[in-house]
Amino acid sequence: MREVAIIGCGMTKFGRRGDRSLIDLMVEASVKAIEHAGIDKKRIDALYAASMLCGELTHQTAIASALADELGILPAAAERLENGPASGGSAVKNAFLAVASGLYDFVLVTGGEKMRHVAGDVITDLLATMSHPTAEYIHGVTLPSLAAMFARLYMKKYGVTRKHLALVAVKNHANALKNPYAHIHRPLTIEGIYSAPEAEVNNPVVADPLRLFDFCPVTDGAASVLLCPAEKAREFCDTIVVISGIGHATDTLAVHEREDPTILKAVRLSAEMAFKMAKTSPKDIDVVELHDAFTILEIAESEDAGFFEKGTGHKALEEGVTALDGDLPINPSGGLKARGHPVGATGVAQLVELTWQLRGEAGKRQVEGAEQAFSCNLGGFGNNVVSFVLKRVR
């Protein structure tokens, strides 16, 4: 298997993007990645597009063909990956394999989603189509309701409190203030969303015990990375970042079928695979992007990915270990919580952030001297997980 480098990254401003179509957003992110690499686009052999809901939300299918055409990279091979909210991770994984196998040299991966033009209840319903059709969906289960039940179990079993959940939001909103691409630029305080008398109003219940600021926003946006064999990367960058590990695992679709629903087994397995392939371990990771679609997920994933003992993630959070200036910054970008979660873009956006971090290009949120990074992209409610380890090699 050839070693594979990320030589270019790009993303759109995440947020309400009523001014742009899905393809427009994906073109913008792609062009930025191409320009970041400084490559002649004619050299691109293939395009992997990621989107969960392009057909349902924008009435356009086969978007990889459309994007290749708009970018002027014909006759590059093109296809779309859909893997729920892990569509971006899946696209990068398959693009990696296309380069690692030797079939292609230069492969663009662009994930995007356009969601804000549709009513919220439609989005909630469409996202729920990834749940179990007869054991969950048909009974009215939504992703927020699964997250609420998961949070309740977690709080009971490990002593996590509502304050800990609020701390995730406060941290990630603070990080997002330093990220010009983030959807939400709004400082939060623990008083404002948790302890002050007006907190109940500021932060109302959505699905008890989860409140408004426990949820990621609905976001439009796109993100893009350009891959090539590491041996060819020197032509494009001084600092070379490689994908040193990939892990991918599944768990039961229905959450209630898991032996212990508080354990995200697919996170555990995929992280173990990624660390093994990268010949490294959680203790050697300098910066992390986790899939915090709900605040509780950041805490759970930080444990199941191997960074903290099970049941202690909330303590590390409370002690500031996962803050931008802590020992293990988690979600310096602001995470799904505040950078936003254009579903198909997220897995790619995580790698954009981490590549910038490893190249020292992360601006005000730079984690100094970061050499190895980890990301974890969840499809479904933890039932399909793609994890990556990135490494600065020179």
Q: Which positions touch a copy of itself (CB under 8 A)?
A: 1, 21, 23, 46, 52-53, 55-56, 59-62, 64-66, 68-69, 74-84, 86, 90, 93-94, 97-98, 100-103, 126, 129-130, 132-133, 246, 248-254, 265-266, 269, 379-380, 383-384
- Closest approach, Cβ 291 to a copy of itself, in A, equals 14
Beta pairing partners, 330:
288
The three-point CA angle 197-200-205 to 5° equals 165
Residue 27 CB, nearest distance to a copy of itself (Å)? 13
Cα distance between residue 224 and residue 4, in whole Å? 16
Q: How far is the CB of 66 from a copy of itself (least distance, A)?
A: 5
Nearest to a copy of itself of 132, 359 (CB atom): 132
What is the closest distance, in whole angstroms, from the C-beta atom of residue 120 to a copy of itself in the complex? 18
SS3 388: strand
- Report CA-CA distances (Å) from 318 to 139, 168, 293, 314, 376: 36, 9, 19, 6, 21
Compute the least distance from the CB of residue 193 to a copy of itself, in Å.
Answer: 31
| Smallest separation, CB 88 to a copy of itself (Å) | 11
Amino acid type, 387? S
Question: Taking the complex as a whole, how short is the minimal distance between the CB of residue 145 and a copy of itself, in angstroms?
Answer: 17
Of the pair 101, 195, the CB lying nearest a copy of itself is at 101
Q: Which is nearer to a copy of itself, 170 or 254 (CB)?
A: 254
**In the numeric block, which tokens belong to residue 254?**
């229905």
Q: Which is nearer to a copy of itself, 104 or 356 (CB)?
A: 104
Backbone angles phi, psi at 202, to 5 degrees: -60, -35
Cβ 276 to a copy of itself shortest distance, Å: 12
Considering the complex, state which of residue 176 and residue 305 has its C-beta at the smaller distance from a copy of itself.
305
Closest distance to a copy of itself from the beta carbon of 366 (Å): 32
Least separation in angstroms between residue 47's CB and a copy of itself is: 8
Let me know: does 355 contact 362? Beta carbons within 8 Å: no
Q: How far apart are CA 342 and CA 149, in angstroms?
A: 24
Peptide bond into 75 cis (omega under 30): yes
DSSP state, residue 206? E
Residue (249 or 370) nearer to a copy of itself, CB? 249
Query: With respect to a copy of itself, which residue has the nearer C-beta, 168 or 227?
Result: 227
What count of Cα atoms within 13 Å lies in the side-chain half-sphere of residue 278? 32
DSSP 262-330: TS-HHHHHHHHHHHHHTT--GGG--EEE---SBHHHHHHHHHHTTSS-TT-HHHHHHTTTTSTTSSS-B
Rg, Å, the chain Cα set: 19
Rounded to whole angstroms, how far apart are CA atoms 168 and 185? 15
Map tokens 């979660």 to a residue. 341
Instruction: Tell me whether residue 178 is exposed, middle or buried, using C-beta atoms within 10 angstroms of its C-beta: 0 to 12, 13 to 18, 19 or more.
Output: middle
Tell me 225's DSSP state.
E
Nearest to a copy of itself of 72, 320 (CB atom): 72
Q: Which residue, 216 or 287, is less far from a copy of itself as judged by CB?
A: 216
Residue with Cβ nearer a copy of itself (30 or 333):
30
- Block residue for tokens 């995200």: 264
